[in-house]
Structure 1
Amino acid sequence: MLTAGSPGGGAPVTKVSEFDSTKARKQSTLIRQRFFRHKLAVASLVVFLLIVAFGLLGPLFWTISVEDASGGRYESPSGQHPLGTNQIGKDMLAQLMRGTRLSVQIALVVAVVATTVGVTLGALAGYLRGYVDTAISRFIDLLLIIPQIAVAAILVNALSGSWYVVALVLASFGWMSIARISRGETLSLSQREFIEAATASGASTRWVIFRHLVPNMIGSITVNATLAVALAVLSEAALSFIGLGVQIPDTSLGLIINENYSQITGRPWLFWGPFVIIVLLSLAVNFIGDGLRDAFDPRQTKVRA
């Protein structure tokens, strides 16, 4: 800071250095700035939010109920039915809204459950090591060789095809890769001084994992959670397409495709509507994950204009 006297003998003029005007920025601010510089990730976030709004808020504004079967069988798109009607006269736009909502619900439940289980078991294996690490790692290896879609289809069919059953079954197979990544990061972090200090001070295993390890893995946890959403969307669509996922009277994007794939040449709007939403959801979530990965990358220490 430089001070110089006024030519007229008045009060001194103060000049502030440009370095003094720079404000310290929090890590969360840097992460947010990095993410919003990733134009494709931001555009994908907008697309994802629009799809979610379509499924959640669309029925509030659309006048035709999803249960209304008063339309004619396989009506063509019109002002009253923009996507036509299905084989029993139900409005396809209303069906698409409900299917989108249930598919997003399933994907989010899968992501939350799979991430929670995967991070917890991975952190336990990496921190405790020894027989705990061996038991968890061998259990993951065993599950990875099982044909997951086939077993998931059997379980869903046996337990009924409610959307929450589909979500829990898919989550039971979606945590393994997250656990492996969390284990690797925990093995690295457990060698750091702050973990050794917490252990030496007598902190419990739960305290070390959830107060020290997990907060320092938040970047990879967030990225893997977004990727779990995309995988769940595709897995649910695959199960419902073969008729072993969500069952009527519920519906989902995969079930709508299953009911209308035979109409792809004669009435393509019945097939392409849910198909496009599945593709957009998967791409959007993957690009959001790419943006988050770049944002959380600790090697990016500068904020470029």
Structure 2
Amino acid sequence: MANINLASEGGVVNSAPQSDSHEFDATKTRTQGQLVLGRFLRHRLAMVSLGVFIVLVLFAFLGPFIWTYDFEDVSSKSYQPMSGAHPLGTTQVGKDMLALLMRGTAYSLQIALIVAALATAIGVIFGALAGYLRGFVDTALMRLVDLLLIIPQIAVAAIVVKGFSGSWYVVALVLASFAWMQIARITRGETLSLAQREFIEAARACGASTPRIIFKHLVPNMIGSITVNATLAIASAVLTEAALSFLGLGVQPPDTSLGVIVLENYGQFLNRPWLFWGPFIVLVSLSLAVNFIGDGLRDAFDPRQTKVRA
């Protein structure tokens, strides 16, 4: 009875506070996008990782316009120690390590973003076609995926990259050609489930074509998993490119990347550790940040998620 209020005149009974009604209406009108965004913003680790990722992007693409030295500048002395002029010292040929690190981070990010975009697009198309059409198409596409999965990626990368002089965009295309298969399998599984839903049956009964059903009805309902997989593909591409470049099978000079910088300076691990730890820390930070962002997106898009992990 504590919620019952009597008006000063007329004795009108109000059994529920007005503010509760407003809160109910506000909750009722929230869209799915607002709910997803709210869950993501409450994921503290994902938000910290997003901040780190933004800082790294600004460092890579805006830093060269602010920093004193260019990554190709060899006017400085060889192997200068850390100082105000060279916070990370200089390389053997006299390049400023900080400027070189900006350039390498930018190249690694470009490669990773291209790989994620191409792999996601190819994987979603192949997976949706296999899951929706089923039968012979499903069998043929999935056997193609199985065949590509057993091909040694490093061997193919060595042949293709060396044949095309190791340009960074060639490395991106090679990595994308091996990164879409897992996305295709995940997309196929979701498509098999969604294809049995009533709204797909209704679209089919109305005479909608296969491309329209896939891109108008199926893909929008898989946007959560597509976004998460695309994010995780970025982190995977960063590490794979670094590994290939470290083995000498990835990006080749005059292009550079985080893997190339680590390869060129790992011999200074004991004598001049800052030349090794600088690019290594950026590489690990970039990979972890993207992984944690993907983790936050997975939690945000999960409709069964009742509590966002910190």
Q: Is 1:106 aligned to residue 111 of structure 2? A: yes
State TM-score, norm by structure 1. 0.94
Q: Secondary structure at the match of 2:93?
A: coil
Q: Contact 1:256 / 1:274 at 8 angstroms: preserved in 2?
A: yes
* 1:86 counterpart residue number: 91
Deviations 1:75-103 (A, max 9, x none): 11111111111111111100000000000
Q: Is 1:257 aligned to residue 256 of structure 2? A: no
Q: Contact 1:33 / 1:303 at 8 angstroms: preserved in 2?
A: no
Q: Is 1:50 aligned to residue 52 of structure 2? A: no
* 1:31 counterpart residue number: 36
Instruction: Give the letter for the 1:252 counterpart.
Output: S
Q: Which shows bigger deviation, 135-144 or 160-169? A: 160-169
2:183 to 178, 185, 188: 178
State TM-score, norm by structure 2. 0.92
* 1:169 counterpart residue number: 174
Instruction: Give the letter for the 2:58 counterpart.
Output: A
In structure 2, the CA distance between the partners of 1:203 and 1:58, relative to structure 1 (3 Å rule), is: same
Deviations 1:127-184 (A, max 9, x none): 0011111110000000111111221222111122111111111000000000000000
Q: Secondary structure at the match of 1:114?
A: helix
Deviation at 1:4, TM superposition (A): 6.7
Q: Secondary structure at the match of 2:94?
A: coil
* 1:142 counterpart residue number: 147
In structure 2, the CA distance between the partners of 1:5 and 1:292, relative to structure 1 (3 Å rule), is: same
Q: Is 1:210 aligned to residue 212 of structure 2? A: no
* 1:16 counterpart residue number: 18
Deviation at 1:301, TM superposition (A): 5.8
Q: Which runs of 5+ in 2 are unaligned?
A: none
Distance 1:233 1:144 in 2: 19
Q: Secondary structure at the match of 2:20?
A: coil
In structure 2, the CA distance between the partners of 1:268 and 1:301, relative to structure 1 (3 Å rule), is: closer
Deviation at 1:244, TM superposition (A): 1.6
Deviation at 1:249, TM superposition (A): 1.2
What CA RMSD, in Å, does the superposition of the two structures yield over aligned residues?
2.1
Distance 1:303 1:265 in 2: 43
Q: Which shows bigger deviation, 147-156 or 245-254? A: 147-156
Distance 2:272 2:5 in 1: 79
Instruction: Give the letter for the 1:18 counterpart.
Output: D
Question: Where do residues 118-157 of structure 1 align in structure 2 (5 Å cutoff)?
Answer: 118-157=123-162
Distance 1:163 1:192 in 2: 43
* 2:246 counterpart residue number: 241
- Percent identity of paired positions between Structure 1 and Structure 2: 68
Q: Contact 1:237 / 1:255 at 8 angstroms: preserved in 2?
A: yes
Distance 1:54 1:256 in 2: 16
Deviation at 1:19, TM superposition (A): 2.6
Distance 2:223 2:41 in 1: 18
Distance 2:78 2:305 in 1: 57
Q: Contact 2:231 / 2:291 at 8 angstroms: preserved in 1?
A: yes
Instruction: Give the letter for the 1:298 counterpart.
Output: P
Distance 1:232 1:195 in 2: 34
Distance 1:17 1:55 in 2: 49
* 2:228 counterpart residue number: 223
Q: Secondary structure at the match of 1:99?
A: helix
Q: Secondary structure at the match of 1:289?
A: helix
Deviation at 1:5, TM superposition (A): 5.4
* 1:73 counterpart residue number: 78
In structure 2, the CA distance between the partners of 1:78 and 1:194, relative to structure 1 (3 Å rule), is: same
Deviations 1:226-270 (A, max 9, x none): 110011001110111111211111110000011111111111111
Deviations 1:169-220 (A, max 9, x none): 1000000000000000000000000001111111011100011000100111
